[in-house]
Amino acid sequence: MEKKPLQPETERFKHILIEAYQREELSANITAKDMIRELAYQLKQVLKGNSK
């Protein structure tokens, strides 16, 4: 079974989530609220790039 290539925005979203997970593992000081805020900001940037 062949893997379909991911859309660029899907690939970027995947990397954002992996990065957030790794950052959370390294820092006991980050709150869920801060994590969500950072994810929302990064996703907003991805979506803005796609709307051009």
In a domain, 1, yes or no: no
Residue the block writes with tokens 């062949």 = 2
Residue 3 falls inside a structural domain: no
Q: Is residue 17 part of a domain?
A: yes
> Cβ atoms within 10 A of the Cβ of 26, count?
8
Residue entry with tokens 């790794």: 22
Q: Is residue 2 part of a domain?
A: no
Residue 8, pLDDT score: 79
**How many domains does one find in the chain?**
1
Residue 34 lies in a domain: yes
Digit-coded pLDDT (tens) for 2-46 = 666 668 778 888 887 888 777 766 666 777 788 788 888 888 887
Token match 């820092």: residue? 27
Alpha helices (H) along 1-52 = 8-26, 32-50
Show the domain range for 21: 8-50
- Which pLDDT band holds residue 1 (cuts at 50, 70, 90)? low
